[in-house]
Amino acid sequence: MPDKAILFLYEGETEGEFYPPILRDKRGDLRDKGVKIKMKCLGGNFNLNAKVGDAISSFLSNHKNCYLFVFVALDREGGRDVEPNISPDLIKSKFGKYLKSIDLIIATQDIESWFFSDIDNIYKFLKAPISKRNPNKYANFENFNNRHLSLLFKQFGKCYQKGRRVEGLINNFDLNKICAKCRDLDEGIKKMQKV
């Protein structure tokens, strides 16, 4: 029987800091099953069909006789009514039997929206005085995005920068809480664990 592998493709550097600790925590079952996980940055939310197709092609050419399950983590760049600019079925149609699935893990509006689901730890990271905190404002976290996070940081004398600089913030998060609150993330992790 062929080996199994997960190719986890993510949009940019911020996702590159966010997803590894989640996958380290959640992939124990996969390791026990002998499933390999390879992560790759897509370098932005544009030309996704071609970039995902190229990543799959490269992986399959280097891993013969391996069933591949692809997960693509990206930002919706708007509310739930905005369709992602990727066509998994079109991409899948170009590959043979070894590409088993392409699943999307879509952050509505962007990955920073999910950060707001753990607003208490954002406030702690910012060392915000308790009297100045308003966690109820962010209860519907999908209504907020990276611009709102930048404004919140600025309110407490800090500067939010996307990319590799978010590691300190991410280290303060309760990632299990974020996974539980963010439906699309939770569903994606559960699909991954079933591979």
The yes/no answer on whether domain 3-110+178-193 falls in CATH 3.40.50 is: yes
Q: Which two tokens stand for residue 71?
A: 């997960």
CB contact at 8 A, 48 and 72: yes
- pLDDT by residue (tens digit) across 79-117? 899 999 999 999 999 998 999 999 999 999 999 999 999
pTM of the model: 0.93
Q: Which residue ranges does the chain devote to CATH 3.40.50?
A: 3-110+178-193
Burial class (CB in 10 A: 0-12, 13-18, 19+), 79: exposed
Higher pLDDT, 164 or 1: 164
Q: How do beta strands 3-10 and 99-107 pair?
A: unpaired
DSSP state of 103: E
Confidence at 27, pLDDT banded by 50, 70, 90 = low
